[in-house]
């Protein structure tokens, strides 16, 4: 794991679940057709300013169960004709291992509970990467995770919560 | 030889910023578009009508179906074209761009909150900037897909093995891109008025 000096926020516990473990999966809900074209994710699912400033919203799928994940996902169906495609299952260890050309970490993943979703977390740039670097990073995310996983396949059969 | 555009401009009886208003009342089925056409030795390229009259544009648009295939195509009255502000309409839209322009048009219907509570709808200016970029892509270049983000950014992307090109228009008057194709890389973020596609970006796209 690269040096974590850029992401001290990862050590803070803000929810009852505590800091995010490297073994955890972080789910980003994909809505069809908003985020998906022909089964493949569009870059728009990772808004540049969210990676840069606001924080990319994800859910800690391994601290909740399928019912709660489904509830969180359905909340994001906003417009007529939309449906939940699935979740992009980002692996915390992989996100934290992403490094730039200088060997420095690019992305932090930290605990960030919000009203109505105690399992909410954020992914954010680690330093002052510029707009073009943010685009490279979202391209990298799309390369690592080109598709969503159906909600029904997030948890092993008969094991709603790990 | 005189091009259609020049002919139209010559016939314009006064300066105008482009087509405005509903032209249906001006449609005259007895008028022949060919009257306005003078064959050109050069292939027609995209152009923007800046000084044509309402009547001339309506005439051309409504009679476009009577022209010979491959001569030219005018679809100024298409839903896609009409969705843009009058100053930004094009009289000529290459067929291959129509689906992408249609997708850009669909972004205009987005409202704040379209992608979650804090999401922002793209502004008309940002969509227009993206449209200008698209219209300025060289004619033989591979075409991108469109994307729109919850932060109001509109953009294009090309994605394949060894290829990731991400062009965004985060706010009016700005472009930001990271382009990588089979070893070639270009990146830039800064002012952009839609006048042309940056050379280094074209070079990478051509390397797909």
pLDDT, tens digit only, all 162 positions of chain A: 455 477 998 999 999 999 999 999 999 999 999 999 999 999 999 999 999 999 999 999 999 999 999 999 999 999 889 999 999 999 999 999 999 888 889 999 999 999 999 999 999 999 989 999 999 999 999 999 999 999 999 998 765 454
A2 within domain boundaries? no
Give percent of chain B above pLDDT 90.
51
| Neighboring chain B residues of A79 at a CB cutoff of 8 Å | 114
Instruction: Give pTM, 2 decimals.
Output: 0.75
Task: Tell me B198's DSSP state.
Answer: -
Please tell me the total count of domains within chain B: 2
B8 within domain boundaries? yes
Domain of residue B171: give its range. Answer: 122-208
**Whether B151 and B189 share a structural domain:** yes
CA-based nearest residue in chain B for residue A38: B145
B53 within domain boundaries? yes
A136–chain B Cβ distance below 8 A for any pair: yes
B103–chain A Cβ distance below 8 A for any pair: no
| Neighboring chain A residues of B166 at a CB cutoff of 8 Å | 43, 135-136, 138-139
A–B interface: beta-carbon pairs under 8 A: 77
B106 within domain boundaries? no
**Whether B134 and B71 share a structural domain:** no
A56 within domain boundaries? yes
Domain of residue A121: give its range. Answer: 8-153
Question: Per-residue confidence at B78, pLDDT binned at 50, 70, 90?
Answer: low
* Residue ranges in chain A assigned as alpha helix (H): 48-49, 66-74, 92-97, 131-144
Q: Are A43 and B166 in contact (CB < 8 Å)?
A: yes
| Neighboring chain A residues of B99 at a CB cutoff of 8 Å | none
Helix (H, G, I), strand (E, B) or coil at B165: strand
A115 within domain boundaries? yes
A57–chain B Cβ distance below 8 A for any pair: yes
**Whether B1 and B86 share a structural domain:** yes
A158 within domain boundaries? no
A69 within domain boundaries? yes
Please tell me the total count of domains within chain A: 1
Q: How far is CA B79 from CA A13, A145, B91, B99, B148, in A?
A: 52, 36, 13, 12, 20
**Whether B41 and B3 share a structural domain:** yes
């Amino acid at each position: 794991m690269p040096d974590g000096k850029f992401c001290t926020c990862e050590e803070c516990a803000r929810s009852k679940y505590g800091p995010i473990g490297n073994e955890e999966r972080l789910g980003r809900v994909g809505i069809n057709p908003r985020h998906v074209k022909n089964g493949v994710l569009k870059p728009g699912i990772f808004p540049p300013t969210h990676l840069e400033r606001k924080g990319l919203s994800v859910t800690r799928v391994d601290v909740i169960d399928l019912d709660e994940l489904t509830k969180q996902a359905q909340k994001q169906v906003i417009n007529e004709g939309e449906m939940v495609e699935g979740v992009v299952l980002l692996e915390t260890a992989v996100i934290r291992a992403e490094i730039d050309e200088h060997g420095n970490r690019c992305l932090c993943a930290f605990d960030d509970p919000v009203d109505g979703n105690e399992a909410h977390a954020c992914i954010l740039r680690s330093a002052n990467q510029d707009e073009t670097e943010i685009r490279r990073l979202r391209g990298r995310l799309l390369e690592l995770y080109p598709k969503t996983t159906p909600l029904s396949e997030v948890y092993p059969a008969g094991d709603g919560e790990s | 030889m005189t091009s259609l555009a020049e002919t139209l401009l010559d016939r314009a009886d006064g300066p105008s910023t482009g087509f405005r208003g509903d032209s249906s009342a001006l449609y005259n089925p007895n008028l022949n578009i060919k009257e306005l056409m003078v064959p050109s030795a050069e292939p027609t390229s995209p152009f923007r009508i800046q000084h044509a009259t309402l009547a001339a544009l309506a005439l051309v648009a409504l009679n476009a179906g009577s022209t010979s295939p491959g001569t030219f195509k005018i679809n100024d009255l298409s839903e896609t074209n009409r969705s843009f502000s009058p100053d930004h309409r094009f009289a000529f839209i290459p067929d291959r761009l129509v689906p992408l322009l249609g997708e850009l048009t669909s972004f205009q219907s987005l409202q704040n909150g379209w992608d979650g509570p804090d999401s922002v709808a793209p502004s008309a200016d940002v969509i227009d900037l993206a449209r200008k970029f698209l219209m300025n892509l060289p004619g033989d270049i591979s075409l991108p897909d469109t994307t729109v983000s919850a932060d109001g950014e509109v953009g294009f992307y090309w994605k394949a093995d060894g290829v990731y090109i991400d062009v965004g228009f985060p706010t009016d008057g700005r472009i930001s891109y990271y382009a990588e194709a089979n070893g070639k890389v270009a990146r830039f973020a800064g002012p952009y008025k839609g006048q042309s596609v940056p050379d280094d970006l074209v070079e990478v796209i051509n390397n797909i």
